Structure 1
């Protein structure tokens, strides 16, 4: 026991995406540009929806929350990666590593449930349009969003608690660009069967359950849309849901692959996990604004208001 305490790992080394200096510089520029776009795009959506009274409805309330979650999700992973790309020392302390893992799963878990709420919102709007304002009242929306944060916190605790109980006595090189449960468990100097299966059950079942609920919601939505007589009405209903379906596919697709399989490590895992932590948050603002006339008009009004004030 004394030997284990003396050799206990207090810091880790994040190996990142590549050890090639030229590739690291390319990744640095790519990550920096995408992170700046993520901040600018999602902040613009949050500010526009908060300022413009025309967008004070449940649909846009959920959209602004999604943008805030994307900001948090990418901020947990990218800044540390940017530092590591241009630094010789790629060290992260044990506590910082655990904190990063917690907040990644916290924001990721909240976003999973939030996408389910957005699917439910579209289901009520299309399948029960006359009761929409009653069902999706402001109090109900606030309660549902608050519940996603609570469940996300519970999910993150379920990921972190089994991991921090593992003994780490070397090696300390994490084959990833951020801390996650599976790469960490590979470094534990004990049997990690319980920890790895807890990770797969917790994240895997969460992702699969959310995916199935969204799929069921859109099954009912498509059935309701097909019953609309006018072609224009069907097209409008489908266009309302198209953006959300695309976002759900981009977010849940890689996550299902990552967590709904045995704990096997592939080099491609780093690129796949980078897709939903980096690529999806930067694409979401473009997906929603380019396909939504109300948001584009609101942004124009915000721009005109800013110019006139100057």
Structure 2
């Protein structure tokens, strides 16, 4: 049998979105602005929920952790993306690439399951209002939160095991803006068929299970709301769910588009747009969705601001 020289890859090159200097500058400005909004929006949401006692409820307990996940996984991706857009150096080490990829997998799938936990919380609030605080006790909320992080960790651990079995040689150019599983897998010089199947099964199972939980919860919610006779009563009951349903639709839509699709060569244009959406746009949109449509958050912000003004006026 003939032998061929194989040089293991120690660094990857992230090609990003474009080679045009003018477009890169525009994208840098846009992404930087969106990242600043993400940090301020999610950080502000966490701070308001912690400072206002009236928001110390199960719904806002989960919302504060959703903001934390949005802030964290956006910070895993966006700073490196901004650096690549601003500088000519697009090199990322093998270790840093895999750390970024697996941190993203952990945080993204944790958020996926957390959204389904939030759907269960809304279901309990609307379908069993008298037993809500008993059903969604502190212990139950912490269990759901722990389960979300545990499933995210398991998906990340499986991803680490599968990717560590692959060898990368010859090609080191990742045609993407960050180290994500599909484009990195495409560079492997070993047989990656089984790895792709295992990753798809675990990713698909987590997405499907959480999506089923969300669907069942909203079927129960809608059936309860339809029994309400007054139109104003229906609107009042569904209003707290509208923000969550919008966030779920955006998140699951892009996740399914990216990970649950027929096997084919990596699509540069469409997958770039989807990845920008769920790594940069969605973390920015979530706090806006939950604050602009939520009177309780607006009122809490007013109360926090008044408390800060009060001591100053006394002085």
TM over 0.5: yes
Instruction: Please give the secondary structure, in 2, of the residue aligned with 1:206.
Output: helix
| In 1: Cα distance, 2:17 partner to 2:205 partner | 27
RMSD: 1.4
Q: CA deviation at 1:3?
A: 4.6
Query: Which residue is equivalent to 1:266?
Result: 267
| In 2: Cα distance, 1:159 partner to 1:187 partner | 16
Correspondence list, 1:1-310, <5 A? 3-4=5-6, 7-264=7-264, 265-267=266-268, 268-310=270-312
Q: CA deviation at 1:17?
A: 1.0
Q: CA deviation at 1:2?
A: 10
Instruction: Please give the secondary structure, in 2, of the residue aligned with 1:157.
Output: helix
Mean Cα deviation higher: 155-164 or 275-284: 155-164
**For the Cα contact (< 8 Å) 1:208–1:256, is it kept in 2?**
no
Q: Which runs of 4+ in 1 moved over 6 A?
A: none
Query: Which string of whole-angstrom CA distances, capped at 9 and with x for unpartnered residues, describes residues 120-171 of structure 1?
Result: 0000111111111111011111121112111110111112221121111121
Aligned residue-pair number = 308
Mean Cα deviation higher: 259-268 or 56-65: 259-268
| In 2: Cα distance, 1:198 partner to 1:177 partner | 24
| In 1: Cα distance, 2:30 partner to 2:309 partner | 32
TM-score, structure 1 normalization: 0.96
Q: Unaligned stretches of 5+ in structure 2?
A: none
Q: Unaligned stretches of 5+ in structure 1?
A: none
TM-score, structure 2 normalization: 0.95
Instruction: Please give the secondary structure, in 1, of the residue aligned with 2:167.
Output: coil
Q: CA deviation at 1:75?
A: 0.6
| In 2: Cα distance, 1:292 partner to 1:304 partner | 19
Q: CA deviation at 1:50?
A: 0.5
Query: Which string of whole-angstrom CA distances, capped at 9 and with x for unpartnered residues, describes residues 74-133 of structure 1?
Result: 011100000000111101000000000111011101100000000000001111111111
| In 1: Cα distance, 2:282 partner to 2:181 partner | 21
